Amino acid sequence: MKNLIVIIFAFLVCQANAFRPILLLGNQNLVERTCKQTPFYDLCIWSLKSNPESRDASVKKLAQIMVDSLKTKATETLDLIDELLQDGLALDPEMQKALTSCAERYNVIIRGDVPEINEALKTGDYKFAVKGADDAAIEANSCEIEFPTKSPLTDMNKVVHDVSVVAASIVKIIQTKFSF
Amino acid sequence: PLFYKGWYHLFYQYNPNAAVWGHIVWGHAVSKDLIHWLHLPLAMAADQWYDKNGVWTGSATILHDGKIVMLYTGSTTEGVQVQNLAYPADHYDPLLVHWVKYPRNPVLVPPPGIGPNDFRDPTTAWLTSEGKWRITIGSKINKTGIALVYDTKDFINYEMLDGLLHAVPGTGMWECVDFFPVSETENNGLETSINGPRVKHVVKASLDDDRHDYYAIGTYNDRNGTWIPDRPNIDVGIGLRYDYGVYYAAKTFYDQNKKRRVLWGWIGESDSEAADVKKGWASVQSIPRTILFDKKTGTHLLQWPVEEIDSLRLKGKEFNQVRIQAGSVVPLDIDSATQLDIIAEFKIDSDALEKATGSSDASFDCATSGGAAERGALGPFGLLVLADERLSEQTPVYFYMTKGSDGNLKTFFCNDQSRSSKASDVDRHIYGSLVPVLRGENLSIRILVDHSIIESFGQGGRAVITSRVYPTKAIYGAAKVFLFNNATELNVTASLKIWQMNSAFIQPYPNL
């Protein structure tokens, strides 16, 4: 009898342990499945997995993580723009004009688009989250083409643009997925 | 929107803090004629737990005794969508300035099986044959868009019907559902509770997934609160749209003053939000449109700007029988071209139509075409508005006809924004759709031009396209209008009248 109990107990423990990796795998699957439906898979995976909150997250939470990433990247870019404007580069009037315009656009991303997306996600009116994310991509792109010659912001504009596009894609997944 | 004690009222979604969506409350304006508006203070703010995250869309119902009740969606502190009741603080105030919220709101919360974010925009109520009030609220189950139905006697207690008004798989969340009768025979609108023979009912939904407004015409069954479309292949969400451009969250109301059903629509921006923040505002309301059943086709609704818009007409100029050869552009000599009402009719050589060779490439679509620069045998031809003299910026509003290999002619009505502006951050899409043209009809267009807003009506309003354009050169005195014909095998003759339009002088209500 004692052996039976030991065996049953061992069996139960094994089963419990066997579940754990499946759960982790299950959620990794969600991150991977979600990112596969965005145009920038690698960026999406990297942004989400580098945030520990993506572990047990719903798709809505993944969207929020992406928006946080957008805000971070946009803020870094704006900081760089401010630095450049204070620098010697500002002496070139065309460069100054482009940087000033970019600063305006990045301000709108951080203080207009990001809050709009967050409020829309919170209240469930998803089309405004898509709109905000789409607009952030447009602002980053428009900043890049302001520079008549070499842009000092090419890499950062691309990241902000691509992160915005990924965020918009994830919101569209929320809109069309089954269950709330 | 509603008409009450001599005033038309518009309540609209407004963000008092920024030119982007958020912190939504109720703005309010009144007018005697649907054109000259006076701003009033905010009607409702987000001051209760049940609407703290947004005082969203609602509808008014006028009761038997003439009193008004308002049902609206609130987004609660937890972000749950609920329905709330409100009413005017003073029914004797024709301006309806102050509003009171029912102390025991919400009156409806998401029912079992419906998500907390999938329950919004209650409609105006209509009477059932049992004398109860009935409303519908859009929602979704998985990917199926649905309309829930509730009956009530007092707007406080509700019974949800077992069945749905209607549902269409694959359409996603139905926002701003509207439900109203249209007469098959009369040229006036119908009060919302009307039913009977020679009356059809329209179900309309705004699809959250693609941000377009769709409608379908069908038959309502009062006994079980259901509706079926006349043509399931063009059911709600998969068929006809109110407008093929930038036009969303539209709703109608019955104007008992002039016995017409009037449609309101939200025209968003097509520029960047940075531009909106810079200019300090975003979004406009369309010129209100009357809605009628199109007796000639039996399948479409007709929209037309309300007649009161004519009061803004200043001087007009007529152009008769202007011949536009294939591949040509004809300037129209009018003074200013930024605020216009254009009514144009196009005659085509029926010989040319006969002779044109049919093509098996019957897959034309305004959106995927090359716009007005793509030459076909029988199109495009129409007008260029908000164009500068050198045509470096232009917005074509035009027809494009195709002939199938079976000899059948199809006509498309399009609006091409691809060259509307040199700015880099504006929308460049081409909008439009098929428009039915019946035997003996000439092709006709009406266009209202207002700086950055173009509302164009094809075939008397059978197909409508609204667009927003932001020219950098074709502005103020430099804006011009042209006729154009970029077809290869067709000559076109146009007759038109163009009026300069006055400002509507929209301002705050004086001495409130």
Going from the N-terminus, what domains does chain B have, and what CATH number goes with each? 2-305 (2.115.10.20), 312-501 (2.60.120.560)
Cross-chain CB nearest to B425 (options A122, A138, A175): A138
pLDDT of residue A16: 45
Distance CA B403, CA B447 (A): 26
Match 């809050």 to its residue by tokens. A115
Instruction: Write out chain B residues lying below 8 Å of A142, CB-based.
Output: 272, 274, 424-425
Q: What are the structure tokens assigned to B116, written together?
A: 């907390």
Strands B289-293 and B226-229: unpaired
Distance CA B418, CA B274 (A): 21
All residues at 6 or more sequence positions from B303 whose CB lies less than 8 Å from its CB, including other chains: B242, B243, B263, B289, B290, B291, B457, B461, B464
Cross-chain CB nearest to B209 (options A119, A131, A175): A175
Instruction: Write out chain A residues lying below 8 Å of B174, CB-based.
Output: none
Instruction: Write out chain A residues lying below 8 Å of B208, CB-based.
Output: 125-127, 175
pLDDT band at A20 (very low <50, low <70, confident <90, very high): very low
Residue A8 maps to a domain: no
Distance CA B235, CA B215 (A): 8
Beta partners for residue B25, in sequence order: B14
User: What average pLDDT does range A134-150 have in this prediction?
Assistant: 95
Distance in Å, alpha carbon of B377 to nearest chain A alpha carbon:
37
Cβ of B9: how many Cβ atoms within 10 Å? Answer: 21
Chain A residue with CA closest to B23: the answer is A119
Q: What are the structure tokens assigned to B448, written together?
A: 């209202």
Q: Cβ–Cβ of B208/A126 closer than 8 Å? A: yes
Q: Cβ–Cβ of A142/B143 closer than 8 Å? A: no
Calculate the average pLDDT of chain A.
86
Is A50's Cβ below 8 Å from some Cβ in B?
no
Mutating which of B425, B426, B429 best tests the A interface, going by the most A Cβ atoms within 10 A? B425
> Residue B245: enclosing H or E segment and its boundaries?
none
All residues at 6 or more sequence positions from A24 whose CB lies less than 8 Å from its CB, including other chains: A55
Q: Cβ–Cβ of B54/A123 closer than 8 Å? A: yes
Q: What is the pLDDT of residues B484-494, one digit of tens each?
A: 999 999 999 99
Instruction: Write out chain A residues lying below 8 Å of B273, CB-based.
Output: 108, 112-113, 116, 132, 135, 139
Distance CA B501, CA B448 (A): 9
pLDDT of residue B350: 83
Distance CA B81, CA B83 (A): 7
Chain A residue with CA closest to B115: the answer is A180
CA B122 to chain CA centroid, Å, is 18
Mutating which of B25, B51, B76, B117 best tests the A interface, going by the most A Cβ atoms within 10 A? B117
pLDDT of residue B351: 85
Inter-residue contact B28 to B41 (CB < 8 Å): yes
Q: What are the structure tokens assigned to B147, written together?
A: 């309309």
Instruction: Write out chain A residues lying below 8 Å of B173, CB-based.
Output: 175
pLDDT of residue A90: 53
Cβ of A36: how many Cβ atoms within 10 Å? Answer: 10
All residues at 6 or more sequence positions from A31 whose CB lies less than 8 Å from its CB, including other chains: A45, A48, A49, A54, A57, A62
Distance in Å, alpha carbon of A106 to nearest chain B alpha carbon:
9
Q: Cβ–Cβ of A124/B208 closer than 8 Å? A: no
Q: Which amino acid is at B96?
A: L
Q: What is the pLDDT of residues A56-96, one digit of tens each?
A: 899 999 999 999 999 999 999 999 999 998 876 556 888 89
Q: Which amino acid is at B308?
A: E
Distance in Å, alpha carbon of A119 to nearest chain B alpha carbon:
7
Residue A76 maps to a domain: yes
Cross-chain CB nearest to A124 (options B19, B117, B274): B117
Cross-chain CB nearest to B75 (options A123, A132, A138): A123
Is A148's Cβ below 8 Å from some Cβ in B?
no
| Residue A27, pLDDT above cutoff 60 | no
Q: Cβ–Cβ of A124/B79 closer than 8 Å? A: yes
Task: Give the CATH number for residue A170.
Answer: 1.20.140.40
Strands B55-62 and B328-332: unpaired
Residue A16 maps to a domain: no
- Torsion B328-B332-B333-B335 (CA) sign: negative
Cross-chain CB nearest to A175 (options B54, B208, B278): B208
Instruction: Write out chain A residues lying below 8 Å of B18, CB-based.
Output: 112
Q: What are the structure tokens assigned to B24, written together?
A: 């939504």
Is A80's Cβ below 8 Å from some Cβ in B?
no
Is A116's Cβ below 8 Å from some Cβ in B?
yes
pLDDT of residue B404: 87
All residues at 6 or more sequence positions from A26 whose CB lies less than 8 Å from its CB, including other chains: none
pLDDT of residue A87: 78
Residue A90 maps to a domain: yes
Kindly give the parts of chain B with pLDDT less than 50: none
Match 């607009």 to its residue by tokens. A135
Q: Cβ–Cβ of A105/B54 closer than 8 Å? A: no
pLDDT of residue B99: 98
All residues at 6 or more sequence positions from B461 whose CB lies less than 8 Å from its CB, including other chains: B289, B302, B303, B304, B446
Q: What are the structure tokens assigned to B336, written together?
A: 């200013």
Backbone φ and ψ for A30, nearest 5 degrees, come out as: -65, -45
Q: Cβ–Cβ of B53/A122 closer than 8 Å? A: yes
Distance CA B68, CA B124 (A): 11
Is A132's Cβ below 8 Å from some Cβ in B?
yes
pLDDT of residue A180: 46
pLDDT of residue A61: 95
Beta partners for residue B158, in sequence order: B152
Around B64, how many Cα atoms within 13 Å sit in the side-chain half-sphere? 6
Phi-psi region of B79 (alpha: psi -120 to 50; beta: other; left: phi over 0): left
Match 């705004």 to its residue by tokens. B206
Q: What are the structure tokens assigned to B221, written together?
A: 């069954």
Question: Is B44 strand, coil or helix?
Answer: strand
Q: Which comes out higher in pLDDT, residue B244 or A148?
A: B244
Could you list the residue range(s) of the whole structural domain that residue A146 is in?
29-178
CA A113 to chain CA centroid, Å, is 13
Distance CA B156, CA A179 (A): 29
Instruction: Write out chain A residues lying below 8 Å of B211, CB-based.
Output: 127
Q: Please spell the DSSP secondary structure of B103-148, one letter per residue.
A: TT--SB-PPTTS-TTS-B-PPPPEE-TTS-EEEEEEEEETTEEEEE
Is A64's Cβ below 8 Å from some Cβ in B?
no
- For chain B, the residues whose C-beta falls within 8 A of a C-beta of chain A are 18-23, 53-54, 56, 75, 79, 81, 115-118, 142-143, 172-173, 208-209, 211, 272-274, 277-278, 424-425
Residue A78 maps to a domain: yes
pLDDT of residue A19: 43
Q: Please spell the DSSP secondary structure of B355-388, one letter per residue.
A: HSPPBS-----GGGS-GGGS-BTEEEEEEEEEE-
Question: Is B381 strand, coil or helix?
Answer: strand
Q: Which amino acid is at B351?
A: D
Cross-chain CB nearest to A115 (options B22, B142, B209): B22
Q: What are the structure tokens assigned to B283, written together?
A: 């979004």
pLDDT of residue B139: 98
Chain A, chain B: beta-carbon pairs less than 8 Å apart: 86
pLDDT of residue B405: 83
Question: Is B196 strand, coil or helix?
Answer: coil
Model confidence pTM above 0.95: no
Is A58's Cβ below 8 Å from some Cβ in B?
no
Residue A64 maps to a domain: yes
Domain count, chain A: 1
Residue A144 maps to a domain: yes
pLDDT of residue A17: 45
Q: What is the pLDDT of residues B329-366, one digit of tens each?
A: 999 999 889 999 999 999 998 888 888 877 755 689 99
Strands B463-468 and B453-458: antiparallel
Match 């038997």 to its residue by tokens. B64
| Residue A39, pLDDT above cutoff 90 | yes
Residue A93 maps to a domain: yes
Distance CA B243, CA B457 (A): 9
Is A103's Cβ below 8 Å from some Cβ in B?
no
pLDDT of residue B363: 83
